[in-house]
C-alpha cells in the first residue's frame, strides 16, 4: 500500500464517491447512474465479472472503497463500448472502468497477478524503454511472467504461430539484442515524465 492510499483515506474518509469524482477519469459521471442495469446486461463478458459496472457504481456510492478498488472487474473490460452505446444516460462507462483500474493501480490496491494488469505493465515498460514496442521481448515477457517452466510451456504451445510470424517477416528474432528504438529516446522519456508530472499535479499527488 502506498502513501497515495494513506493520503486518500485521510482526505476522503467515507466519501468514496467524492474521491472517485476527483481522481478517477470521468468519475464525476458515477452519480448519474440510475441503476437500470442495461450496461450489465449488454456486456459481452458480463457473466464472467464479479462486479458489473452497474454494481460497481452502486458500491462506489455506498462507500465500499476497498471492495471496489480491489475488484478485478474493471480489469476485465475489453473496451467494446457496448455499454456506452446502450447507456440511457450516456455515461462513458468504458472510460470510467479504465479510470478505476488506473486509480486502483496508482494506489497500489489493484489485484495482484491480474493478467490484464500484468500485461499492461509489461507493455508500458516495454514501450517506455525504447519508445517503440519490441514485440519479441513483449511476447517473451508475457510468456515467462509466471516463471521459467510455465514460460517454456507457453512458448512451445505458441511455437508454430511464432515461426510463422518469423517466416512472414512479422517478427524479427534479432530484436532480442536490444531492438529498434526512437532516435531521440531521451526527448521521448522527458515527454513521458512531464506528462506524468502534469497528471500528478492535476490529481493532487505530492510525489
Judged by the rule CB under 8 A, the positions of this chain that interact with another protein are 34-38, 40-42, 46-47, 52, 54-55, 85-90
83/136 with CB nearer another protein: 83
10/47 with CB nearer another protein: 47
Cβ 164 to another protein shortest distance, Å: 38
Cβ 105 to another protein shortest distance, Å: 25
| Residue for grid cell 473490460 | 77
41/181 with CB nearer another protein: 41
Instruction: Quote the CA–CA distance of 4 and 110 in Å, as a whole number.
Output: 13
User: Which grid coordinates belong to 83?
Assistant: 455499454
Contacts of 104 (CB under 8 A, 6+ apart): 68, 69, 70, 71, 74, 110
Cβ 95 to another protein shortest distance, Å: 16
Cβ 93 to another protein shortest distance, Å: 13
End-to-end CA distance of the chain: 15
41/115 with CB nearer another protein: 41
Cβ 21 to another protein shortest distance, Å: 21
The three-point CA angle 137-139-140 to 5° equals 65
C-alpha torsion angle, residues 14, 18, 24, 25 (rounded to 10): 160
User: Which grid coordinates belong to 2?
Assistant: 502506498
41/108 with CB nearer another protein: 41
Amino acid at each position: 500500500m502506498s502513501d497515495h492510499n494513506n493520503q486518500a483515506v485521510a482526505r476522503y474518509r467515507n466519501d468514496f464517491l467524492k474521491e472517485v469524482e476527483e481522481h478517477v477519469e470521468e468519475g464525476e459521471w458515477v452519480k448519474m447512474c440510475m441503476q437500470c442495469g442495461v450496461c450489465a446486461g449488454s456486456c459481452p463478458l458480463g457473466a464472467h465479472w464479479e462486479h458489473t459496472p452497474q454494481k460497481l457504481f452502486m458500491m462506489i456510492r455506498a462507500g465500499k472503497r476497498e471492495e471496489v478498488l480491489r475488484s478485478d472487474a474493471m480489469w476485465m473490460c475489453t473496451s467494446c463500448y457496448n455499454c456506452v452505446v446502450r447507456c440511457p444516460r450516456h455515461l462513458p462507462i468504458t472510460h470510467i472502468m479504465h479510470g478505476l483500474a488506473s486509480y486502483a493501480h496508482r494506489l497500489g490496491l489493484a489485484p495482484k497477478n491480474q493478467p490484464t494488469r500484468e500485461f499492461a505493465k509489461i507493455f508500458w515498460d516495454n514501450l517506455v524503454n525504447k519508445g517503440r514496442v519490441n514485440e519479441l521481448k513483449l511476447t517473451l515477457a508475457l510468456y515467462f511472467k509466471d516463471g521459467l517452466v510455465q514460460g517454456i510451456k507457453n512458448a512451445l504451445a505458441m511455437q508454430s504461430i511464432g515461426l510463422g510470424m518469423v517466416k512472414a517477416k512479422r517478427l524479427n528474432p534479432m530484436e532480442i539484442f536490444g531492438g529498434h528504438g526512437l532516435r531521440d529516446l531521451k526527448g521521448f522519456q522527458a515527454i513521458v515524465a512531464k506528462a506524468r508530472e502534469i497528471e500528478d499535479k492535476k490529481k493532487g499527488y505530492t510525489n
